[in-house]
């Protein structure tokens, strides 16, 4: 089935790809942070779970704020910007108000 420009997901394709890849990279970073902490296993696991929840909330917020504006293909600098944005998403939420 060929791509259709009338498909509603087509206008979000760049933002969806950027969000997905940034979440994958951020989950790996969260695993590294959680594993490097000098705590018992339960403490590291809870830290990792909290970081993953933080990342997923950030992915939702950043996608909602920028999804329609993303028109350019993903490049390395834009990817880094997306990854950083998932970690500092409250800044964008507060600046919007």
What is the overall mean pLDDT for the chain? 91
Q: What's the gap between Cα 82 and its chain centre?
A: 6
Enclosing domain of residue 28: 10-96
Q: Determine contact, residues 68/11, Cβ cutoff 8 Å.
A: yes
Output the pTM of the full model. 0.88
**Which residues, in sequence order, are CB contacts of 35 under 8 Å at separation 6+?**
44, 48
| 68 in any annotated domain | yes
- Asked whether the predicted pLDDT for residue 20 surpasses 90, the reply is yes
Mean pLDDT check: name the lowest of 20-24, 68-72, 81-85.
68-72
| 61 in any annotated domain | yes
- Asked whether the predicted pLDDT for residue 16 surpasses 60, the reply is yes
Q: What is the pLDDT of residues 21-63, one digit of tens each?
A: 999 999 999 999 999 999 999 999 999 999 999 999 999 999 9
| 92 in any annotated domain | yes
| 2 in any annotated domain | no
| 3 in any annotated domain | no
Q: In the structure, what pLDDT confidence band is assigned to residue 1 with cuts at 50, 70 and 90?
A: low
Structural domain count, the chain: 1
């Amino acid at each position: 089935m060929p791509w259709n420009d009338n498909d509603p997901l087509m206008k979000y394709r760049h933002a969806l790809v950027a969000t997905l890849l940034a979440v994958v990279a951020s989950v790996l970073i969260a695993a590294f942070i959680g594993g490097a902490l000098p705590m018992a296993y339960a403490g590291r696991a809870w830290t990792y779970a909290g970081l993953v929840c933080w990342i997923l909330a950030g992915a939702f917020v950043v996608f909602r704020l920028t999804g329609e504006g993303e028109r350019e293909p993903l490049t390395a600098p834009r990817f880094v910007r997306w990854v950083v944005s998932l970690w500092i998403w409250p800044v964008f939420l507060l600046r919007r108000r």
